[in-house]
């Protein structure tokens, strides 16, 4: 019988991650290899992203570093042309610009449960 009331339920689930997604950091990273998510890549290079799983790369937000002669400092602005491009779901190609780019590395496996 329908009473025009909301039916709510709650449940608990325990998720245990057995094998985390990990990324092998290139040799030119300037940070601690196990604790960072910020990587420095040289301009005009192709860098392969090596992981322990099958992954897919997605491009997030990009900001370009632009020198402001009035303040003698760099400021970040949204980039009008690419700073990097993604190649074959496993590599990053950098161009001759400087800036910050968010690259999302996602596992491409689907789970049944």
Q: Mind listing the pLDDT tens digit of every residue in the chain (113 residues)?
A: 556 777 777 788 887 777 777 777 665 555 555 555 677 888 898 888 888 888 888 888 888 888 889 999 988 888 888 888 998 878 889 998 888 888 888 887 665 55
- How many domains does the chain fold into? 1
- The answer to whether residues 94 and 42 touch, using CB atoms and an 8 Å cutoff, is yes
pTM above 0.85, yes or no: no
Residue 43 in any domain: the answer is yes
Residue 99 in any domain: the answer is yes
Residue 3 in any domain: the answer is no
Domain extent for 28: 23-107
């Amino acid at each position: 019988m329908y009473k025009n009331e909301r039916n709510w339920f709650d449940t608990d689930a325990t998720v245990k991650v057995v094998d985390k997604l990990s990324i092998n950091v290139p040799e030119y990273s300037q940070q601690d290899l196990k604790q960072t998510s910020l990587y420095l890549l040289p301009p005009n290079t192709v860098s392969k992203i090596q992981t322990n799983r099958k992954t897919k790369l997605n491009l997030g937000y990009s900001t370009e570093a632009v020198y402001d002669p009035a303040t003698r400092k760099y400021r970040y602005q949204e980039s009008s042309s690419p700073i990097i491009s993604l190649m074959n779901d496993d590599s990053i190609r950098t161009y001759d610009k400087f800036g910050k780019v968010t690259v999302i590395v996602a596992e491409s496996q689907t789970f049944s449960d």
